């Protein structure tokens, strides 16, 4: 099946490993820039667009500022025959339309940090049992039965939500889509495309249909519907920024603790310059978990593995970036693997210095994987995807408000993690976004035979993550010193989970930008990297191309393992080395077109809009027919979910 259509454009999901600009003992702090190196403030795709623009054409762009823009800025834009379309008060940025001749002149302003193209974006297209969500609701004590996301709001930044679908009611028939707003200019908040409704129900759909066979991960969480993709599934960077700006302003009023972004655009720029990445960082620093899809560009037209196709904002270090796992329709996880279409790292975003040299980010991504193949969830009424591809209807119900469809993609894996984040926050409201990201990676199951550029720390394990979250002390704050006990018990939990009769070990470590950080201290003792305003990777320093631990950020029991590893079936930290720390050196092992062990590294000329069409076509795996395990709906609501 196709998680989208070849004509659409803001896509969600992709990544790579980045080369460092400096090898000094300086961590990548939450707001680090490019050091003292002079850089080109105009993004390469904007410069290319300006070079080939037509006479009289105005180019859409995003201008970011070093601080507040000078009072002369708007007049300067107008004097150059441009116009300001939108201001993002929380992100120090403006959406503008400019003639090609004005791009360089505005970039030269001292108050301007960077000028980027207002890029097009597109969407991508038994779970509670196999992820462990059922376990925490059924077997961990009487209170666990109410661990369903209640009180937490998840913002769905997508193509809209068909709120009339039965999946979005609570047990008292109240509507759980508590706010809707359109940022596309189409003047509607429903879902004519069909992507957002499906995504929202994976995160938080109820279990009323088909005897709770297609229950979402957090089935009683509230949903915030922020529509940024139009009727054809495409949208713009400025629309996404407007939605994130709204979240920043209204997060407390609606208790928005999680944002789901099953969309994206090619990562042309470094995350340090990309306007959406920077907006994501602001939200995470403010305490909001942002979950982003890795992308669907895992193979090329020759069927080869492709490395380096993670898209923005999945290339942002503070986001939880999610790849897609294939469960093959079984609750047992022994047969699970990473889907061929799931985008692999390292991140390929780059910035260009004034001499024209490109400096790549090359971060290890995704952070983890979650089920994303043949997912059966809510179908928006008369949506474009099912109209164009009727086989996507799962045959569950003849009633419009109870119909279900199935889709593939990292778009579908992402809301699994967003729903899991809501459960963790319900279990322990004091968790920071970095704590949640750490728990999800630490308790993940490494999938045998896949490297960290494919699966991150491994496949999501909600049971393990919730078990640890419940043990974390409620008095842990930003003032808690490094190394203080973080759990209410003296001993840490057994690092294993049993799902469908199979017991597996946890990853017991975290991705740290360029390597893997391991040690029981990560969950038994407080780490400074968990504070708001920090990154998990801040505890890893780079000196002369070698990675070392920052003792001010990580406690003595934490170990830094350099390089990218294959899982040996137990923990990634004990796996086979896939690529060494030479990945840190610009142009050594990670350079355009160089073979990366078992696949091909994407070259710069592939990081453009052509990636969109490939992403959309790459989501078809297997015969697009109704899976044999589909349960037909009786039309009678099941409330025992």
For residue 510, pLDDT beyond 90: yes
563, HSE (Cβ side, Cα atoms, 13 Å): 13
Q: What is the mean pLDDT of residues 55-77?
A: 91
251, HSE (Cβ side, Cα atoms, 13 Å): 20
Q: What is the pLDDT of residue 422?
A: 98
- Residue tagged 């003992």 (tokens): 25
Supply the angle between the helices 195-204 and 410-427 in degrees, to the nearest 10: 30
Q: What is the pLDDT of residue 622?
A: 33
Contact 296, 451 (CB under 8 A): no
Q: Tens of pLDDT along 14-23? A: 222 222 222 2
Q: What is the mean pLDDT of residues 393-399?
A: 92
Q: Which residue has the higher pLDDT, 393 or 598?
A: 393
H/E stretch holding 204: helix 195-204
Position 15 in a domain:
no
Domain count, the chain: 2
Position 598 in a domain:
no
Q: What is the mean pLDDT of residues 1-29?
A: 32
Residue 493: give its domain's CATH number: 3.40.50.200
Q: What is the mean pLDDT of residues 367-376?
A: 93
Q: Tens of pLDDT along 279-330? A: 999 999 999 999 999 998 888 878 888 888 898 999 999 999 999 999 888 8
Q: What is the pLDDT of residue 22?
A: 28
Q: What is the mean pLDDT of residues 553-565?
A: 86
Separation between Cα atoms, residue 456 and residue 284, nearest integer Å:
20
Q: What is the mean pLDDT of residues 393-402?
A: 93
Position 473 in a domain:
yes
For residue 139, pLDDT beyond 70: no
Q: Are residues 295 and 332 in the same domain?
A: yes
Q: What is the pTM of this model?
A: 0.84
Number of H helices, E strands in the chain: 15, 30
Of residues 327, 307, 318, the one with CA closest to residue 370? 327
Q: What is the pLDDT of residue 592?
A: 43
Query: Band of the pLDDT at 193, cuts 50, 70, 90?
Result: very high
Burial 378-388 (b: 16+ CB within 10 A, else e): bbbbebbbbee
Q: Are residues 164 and 130 in the same domain?
A: yes
Q: Are residues 246 and 256 in the same domain?
A: yes
Position 626 in a domain:
no
For residue 570, pLDDT beyond 50: yes
Instruction: Name residues whose C-beta falls within 8 Å of residue 51's C-beta, 6 or more positions apart in sequence.
Output: 100
Supply the angle between the helices 410-427 and 462-471 in degrees, to the nearest 10: 20
For residue 380, pLDDT beyond 60: yes
86, 120, 154: which is the final residue of a domain?
A: 120
Other CB atoms within 10 A of residue 485 CB: 13
- Among 144-153, 199-208, 507-516, which range has the highest average pLDDT? 199-208
Q: What is the pLDDT of residue 605?
A: 56
Q: Are residues 224 and 270 in the same domain?
A: yes
Q: Are residues 197 and 317 in the same domain?
A: yes
Residue 106: give its domain's CATH number: 3.30.70.80
120, 135, 151: which is the final residue of a domain?
A: 120
Q: Are residues 91 and 217 in the same domain?
A: no
Q: What is the pLDDT of residue 433?
A: 98
Q: Are residues 143 and 100 in the same domain?
A: no
Q: Which residue has the higher pLDDT, 222 or 513?
A: 222
Contact 241, 88 (CB under 8 A): yes
Q: Are residues 195 and 97 in the same domain?
A: no
Q: What is the mean pLDDT of residues 435-459?
A: 95
Separation between Cα atoms, residue 423 and residue 219, nearest integer Å:
10
Q: What is the pLDDT of residue 138?
A: 64
Q: Are residues 65 and 141 in the same domain?
A: no
Query: Band of the pLDDT at 580, cuts 50, 70, 90?
Result: low
For residue 356, pLDDT beyond 80: yes
For residue 391, pLDDT beyond 70: yes
Of residues 207, 276, 282, the one with CA closest to residue 242? 276
For residue 3, pLDDT beyond 70: no
With H, G, I as helix, E, B as strand and everything else as coil, classify residue 90.
Answer: coil
Q: What is the pLDDT of residue 27?
A: 38
Q: What is the pLDDT of residue 302?
A: 83
Position 640 in a domain:
no
CA distances from 398 to 169, 229, 329, 381, 404 (A): 19, 27, 24, 11, 10
Position 607 in a domain:
no
Q: Which residue has the higher pLDDT, 529 or 604?
A: 529
Q: What is the pLDDT of residue 103?
A: 93
Domain that holds residue 102: 44-120
Q: Are residues 357 and 466 in the same domain?
A: yes
Q: What is the mean pLDDT of residues 216-241?
A: 94
Position 634 in a domain:
no
For residue 597, pLDDT beyond 80: no
Position 194 in a domain:
yes
For residue 596, pLDDT beyond 60: no
Among 47-51, 217-221, 299-303, where is mean pLDDT lowest? 299-303
Q: What is the mean pLDDT of residues 381-392?
A: 92
Separation between Cα atoms, residue 165 and residue 416, nearest integer Å:
19
Contact 156, 196 (CB under 8 A): yes
What does pLDDT average to over the chain? Answer: 84
Q: What is the mean pLDDT of residues 628-633?
A: 66
534, 564, 584: which is the final residue of a domain?
A: 584
Burial 501-537 (b: 16+ CB within 10 A, else e): eeebbbbbbbbbbbbbbbbebbbbbbbbbbbebbbbb
Q: Are residues 105 and 178 in the same domain?
A: no
Query: Band of the pLDDT at 234, cuts 50, 70, 90?
Result: confident
Contact 457, 442 (CB under 8 A): yes
Q: What is the pLDDT of residue 337?
A: 94
Q: Are residues 194 and 51 in the same domain?
A: no
Query: Band of the pLDDT at 4, cuts 50, 70, 90?
Result: very low
């Amino acid at each position: 099946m196709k998680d989208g259509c070849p004509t659409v454009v803001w896509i969600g999901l992709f990544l790579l490993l980045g080369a460092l600009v400096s090898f000094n003992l300086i961590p990548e702090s939450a707001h680090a820039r490019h050091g003292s190196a002079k850089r080109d403030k105009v993004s390469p795709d904007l410069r290319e667009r300006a070079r080939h623009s037509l006479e009289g054409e105005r180019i859409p762009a995003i201008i970011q500022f070093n601080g507040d823009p000078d009072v002369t800025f708007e007049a300067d834009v107008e004097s150059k025959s441009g116009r300001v379309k939108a201001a993002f008060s929380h992100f120090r940025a403006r959406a503008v339309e400019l003639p090609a001749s004005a791009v360089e002149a505005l970039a030269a302003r001292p108050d301007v940090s960077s000028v980027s193209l207002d890029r097009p974006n597109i969407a991508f297209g038994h779970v509670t049992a196999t992820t462990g969500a059922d376990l925490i609701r059924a077997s961990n004590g009487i209170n666990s039965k109410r661990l369903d996301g209640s009180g937490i709001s998840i913002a769905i930044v997508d193509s809209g939500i068909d709120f009339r679908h039965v999946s979005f009611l609570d047990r008292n028939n109240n509507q759980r889509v508590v706010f809707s707003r359109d940022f596309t200019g189409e003047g509607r908040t429903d879902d004519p495309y069909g992507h957002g409704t499906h995504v929202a129900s994976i995160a938080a759909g109820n279990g009323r249909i088909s005897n709770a066979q297609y229950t979402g991960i957090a089935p009683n969480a509230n949903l915030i519907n922020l529509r940024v993709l139009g009727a054809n599934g495409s949208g713009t960077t400025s629309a996404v920024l407007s939605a994130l700006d709204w979240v920043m302003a209204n997060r407390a009023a609606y208790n928005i603790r999680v944002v789901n972004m099953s969309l994206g655009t090619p990562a042309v720029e470094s995350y340090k310059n990309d306007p959406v990445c920077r907006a994501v960082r602001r939200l995470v620093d403010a305490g909001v978990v942002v979950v982003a899809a890795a992308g669907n560009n895992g193979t090329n037209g020759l069927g080869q593995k492709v490395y380096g196709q993670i898209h923005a904002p999945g290339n942002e270090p503070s986001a939880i970036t999610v790849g897609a796992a294939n469960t093959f329709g079984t609750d047992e996880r022994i047969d699970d693997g990473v889907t061929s279409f799931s985008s692999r790292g390292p991140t390929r975003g780059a910035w260009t210095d004034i001499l024209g040299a490109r400096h790549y980010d090359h971060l290890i991504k995704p952070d983890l994987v979650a089920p994303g193949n043949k997912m059966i969830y809510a179908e928006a009424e008369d949506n474009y995807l099912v109209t164009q591809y009727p086989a996507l209807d799962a045959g569950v119900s003849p009633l419009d408000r109870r119909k279900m469809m199935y889709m593939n993609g990292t778009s579908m894996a992402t809301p699994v993690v967003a729903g899991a984040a809501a459960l963790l926050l319900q279990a322990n409201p004091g968790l920071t976004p970095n704590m949640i990201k750490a728990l999800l990676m630490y308790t993940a199951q490494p999938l045998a035979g896949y490297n960290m550029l494919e699966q991150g720390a491994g496949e999501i394990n909600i049971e393990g993550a919730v078990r640890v979250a419940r043990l974390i002390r409620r008095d842990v704050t930003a003032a808690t010193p490094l190394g203080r006990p973080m759990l209410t018990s003296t001993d840490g939990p057994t690092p294993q989970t049993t799902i469908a009769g199979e017991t597996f070990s946890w990853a017991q470590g975290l991705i740290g930008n360029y390597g893997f950080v391991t040690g029981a201290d990560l969950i038994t003792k407080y780490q400074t990297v968990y504070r708001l305003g920090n990154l998990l990777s801040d505890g890893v320093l780079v000196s002369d191309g070698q990675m070392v631990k920052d003792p001010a950020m990580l406690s003595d029991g934490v170990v830094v393992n350099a390089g990218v590893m294959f899982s040996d079936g137990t923990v990634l930290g004990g796996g086979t080395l896939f690529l060494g720390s030479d990945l840190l050196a610009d142009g050594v092992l990670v350079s355009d077109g160089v073979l990366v062990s078992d696949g091909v590294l994407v070259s710069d000329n592939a990081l453009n809009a052509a990636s969109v069409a490939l992403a959309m076509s790459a989501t078809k795996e297997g015969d697009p027919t109704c899976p044999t395990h589909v349960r037909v709906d009786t039309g009678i609501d099941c409330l025992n979910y």
